[in-house]
A and B are shown apart, each in its own frame.
Chain A
């Protein structure tokens, strides 16, 4: 089981990027082994539809959980279709959020947290 975390950099101590569709990187972590890899978010500069594209990307990376700041309506719909658990409201460093997740301190977000195009502002 892998977790995708939206990040401003490629490391475990990189800051969380609060945007989903337009974040800089995804850090994909296996919480059991703490092994990780970072991937560039190819949809960061998309003219539209960045959220569903990002959802496809983390699905391909076999993530089952997403930890991010906010998720818009299209992204939420796509993540739900992919069966990915969504955790929003995150901040701080990637590693801190993974630790919190492992301790069961984070709860799942049932609905979009921002409107369309919030990541472009």
Chain B
């Protein structure tokens, strides 16, 4: 089973939920897809070791063969190619590496070269492997690394994906092709606002989902009201507990430092299992 932990707002506790859920269910693995700032590994003692480089195909133009017909520029959905004033301009930072220009070129003037965008590291234990990706500094698109990361999901295990925040491409990529999505929010106006954005997106994707309220007690009950009105299952509420925060600051997951919380995550998983 594949479960993604996502949220619209950053800092609501995606990693907290992902790490503690992975530790509370048997036969699990954790894949941190926040390739711009992965931090799930901080809760595990084992070092992360590089296992793979990630590249995207970047076009290389043979300007002697190119007829400046403009078909590649017209095709490119990301406007990475311009034919202008008898010149071909390629804006590498706009290229998503889809390879379409090479296919569309009628005179075979385009070849592809590997453009390294980041890497994948593995850590954790035999029982609970942890993977994450690292996007190179200055690279704008994390999705190719997330795609590669998703390939490491072991079908015989419960795979927990820790999603990047927001509702843009990297988050969408992490929320699709999974069995269930946990949306983590906090009971504040910001939390609720960004939750509603994420709900709009996930309904489009079609992944079944439920909500976890983290730091319950700091705000009001508008998230509860919203979930009830929208018919969204509330999976769990995690109290705003100073002891949890103290453990967190030392890199100790709450279910390890305060075993009473294990039950909460076991019940959360039971609810998910009943829904998929």
Q: How far is the CA of A12 from the CA of B80 in the complex (A)?
A: 33
Q: Is B84 among interface residues, defined by CB-CB distance under 8 A?
A: yes
User: CB-CB contacts of B89-115 with A at 8 A, as 1s and 0s?
Assistant: 101001000000000000000000000
Which residues 67-98 in B have Cβ within 8 Å of A in the complex? 73, 78-80, 82-85, 87, 89, 91, 94
Category for how many chain A residues contact B: 10 to 19
Question: CB distance A48 to B89 under 8 Å?
Answer: no
A residues less than 8 Å from B78 (CB atoms) = 47-49
From B83, B85, B87, B91, give the contact of A74 (CB < 8 A).
B91
Question: CB distance A78 to B94 under 8 Å?
Answer: no
Q: Is A52 among interface residues, defined by CB-CB distance under 8 A?
A: yes
Q: Is A43 among interface residues, defined by CB-CB distance under 8 A?
A: yes
A residues less than 8 Å from B87 (CB atoms) = 81-82
Question: Which of A49, A55, A77, A83 has most chain B Cβ within 10 Å?
Answer: A49
User: B-side binding surface: helix, strand, loop or mixed?
Assistant: mixed
B residues less than 8 Å from A52 (CB atoms) = 79, 82, 84, 89, 91
B residues less than 8 Å from A56 (CB atoms) = 73, 82-84
Number of interface residues of B (CB under 8 A): 12
Question: CB distance B85 to A48 under 8 Å?
Answer: no
Complex: chain A residue closest to B70, CB-CB: A56
Question: CB distance A53 to B82 under 8 Å?
Answer: yes
Q: How far is the CA of A48 from the CA of B87 in the complex (A)?
A: 20
Question: CB distance A78 to B82 under 8 Å?
Answer: yes
Question: CB distance A83 to B85 under 8 Å?
Answer: yes
Question: CB distance A78 to B80 under 8 Å?
Answer: no
Q: Is A50 among interface residues, defined by CB-CB distance under 8 A?
A: yes
| A contact residues vs B (CB 8 Å cutoff) | 43, 46-50, 52-53, 55-56, 59, 74, 77-78, 81-83
| B contact residues vs A (CB 8 Å cutoff) | 73, 78-80, 82-85, 87, 89, 91, 94
20 contacts between A and B (CB under 8 A): A46-B79, A48-B79, A49-B78, A49-B80, A49-B94, A52-B89, A53-B79, A55-B84, A56-B82, A59-B84, A59-B85, A74-B94, A77-B89, A78-B84, A78-B89, A81-B82, A82-B84, A82-B85, A82-B87, A83-B85
Give 4 A-B pairs besides A46-B79, A52-B91, A82-B87 with Cβ atoms closer than 8 angstroms: A48-B94, A50-B79, A55-B84, A78-B89
